[in-house]
Chains A and B, each alone.
Chain A
């Protein structure tokens, strides 16, 4: 209504503070309540997503265990601490070790590209690869996750260690499409050069840091399920 001769008197500051405090408290309780209810389903979603990715890069694996590589040490983590782990061992249904899944990341075209790859200790090569997160250009850089010819690079990408066991014998390299001549080279995708190179860098950096540690402690990985 338009006639407002005198504005209503200012309520006391105490009333203002009390109202705000009451609303804030109510909101706090609601949020905590929602947090408690969703805690369990969220943790389950994360676990399922992680397992799906791990089993994808380690063909034949049906079970996983969490490990953490820190400096030169490899430690086993409990099953529910998948978030903290950076190395996941995958086991076949008879309990034998299929391989190890590890994360790598490198700067792509638009943002960081996070990848997960499977490493077979037996064959000393990378046997699987999937993109966890990327915002590469759809139709171009995005192909690193779907292009069949590119994914064929990871049927067995050579990551043997040097004689001293401290680093890769032959660092992984991304070369132009169709130029691959060595087993440690990745055939890039035409039109997605930067993204293909990012994948190569992510794998090289992560593999040369983690694989020596993993081979040093290979005992721990096989013991975990025996």
Chain B
């Protein structure tokens, strides 16, 4: 597979360099919202939607910044636009699908300060992805986040029944599990080469 082919970019963001388990991005919601499967899945979907929108916005802004040679304003404009994009997505969903809004609503504000979104926007810029590549990259990253979150939630539901030492707080055990998951995901490295 060619390194810049669309299928490879997707696979890379989805499994090989999984945002949560290999790049440590989006850890706060990963630990915070992974107690139950029923919250993990909507959160994941919300992240995919926002990532897709943010990817389009970041691509457009970067075009403008490069056109005028003001790349040093990149970080400030990205963060401002992502925050507004999240608000916009929130309002759109609220208007057109109240059911969906009830499901995703409380997660959307959380996503604004999710490093995975800004990280995705920055990485797609640093990698010089074309418009199509950026979109696929954002979808792969969002899907990878959802996968990690769902796996974690499944594990933590089982963990409720386990007999643990008193010192093993939820956070400590979650990170231990994340470490083991991350180890498993390392097996995907080398995929497609």
A residues touching B (Cβ–Cβ < 8 Å)?
24, 27-28, 31-32, 34-35, 106-112, 137, 194, 198
Indicate whether A28 sits within 8 Å of B193 (C-beta atoms), given known contacts A110-B16, A111-B17, A112-B3: no
Ranked 5 nearest A-B pairs via Cβ: A107-B3, A35-B72, A109-B190, A110-B189, A107-B193
Chain B 152-193: CB-based contact to A (< 8 A → 1; otherwise 0): 000000000000000000000000000000000000011001
In the bound complex, residues from chain B placing their C-beta under 8 Å from that of A198 are: 193
User: Secondary structure of the B side of the interface?
Assistant: loop
Whole-angstrom distance between the Cβ of B19 and the nearest chain A Cβ: 14
A194 touches B76 (CB 8 A): no
In the bound complex, residues from chain B placing their C-beta under 8 Å from that of A35 are: 72
A31 touches B3 (CB 8 A): no
B residues touching A (Cβ–Cβ < 8 Å)?
1-3, 16-17, 72-73, 76, 189-190, 193
In the bound complex, residues from chain A placing their C-beta under 8 Å from that of B73 are: 28, 31
In the bound complex, residues from chain A placing their C-beta under 8 Å from that of B16 are: 110
B17 touches A32 (CB 8 A): no
Q: How far is the CA of A111 from the CA of B1 in the complex (A)?
A: 13
Of A24, A27, A106, A194, the residue contacting B190 (CB under 8 A) is A194
Q: How far is the CA of A79 from the CA of B16 in the complex (A)?
A: 39
Name, among B3, B17, B73, B190, the residue most crowded by chain A CB atoms within 10 Å (CB to CB). B190
In the bound complex, residues from chain B placing their C-beta under 8 Å from that of A110 are: 16-17, 189-190
23 A-B interface contacts by CB (under 8 A): A27-B76, A28-B73, A28-B76, A31-B73, A31-B76, A34-B72, A35-B72, A106-B3, A107-B1, A107-B2, A107-B3, A107-B193, A108-B193, A109-B190, A109-B193, A110-B16, A110-B17, A110-B189, A111-B17, A112-B3, A137-B189, A194-B193, A198-B193
In the bound complex, residues from chain B placing their C-beta under 8 Å from that of A112 are: 3
Q: How far is the CA of A34 from the CA of B178 in the complex (A)?
A: 39
Q: How far is the CA of A31 from the CA of B72 in the complex (A)?
A: 7
Name, among A24, A31, A194, A198, the residue most crowded by chain B CB atoms within 10 Å (CB to CB). A31
In the bound complex, residues from chain A placing their C-beta under 8 Å from that of B1 are: 107
Q: How far is the CA of A34 from the CA of B75 in the complex (A)?
A: 14
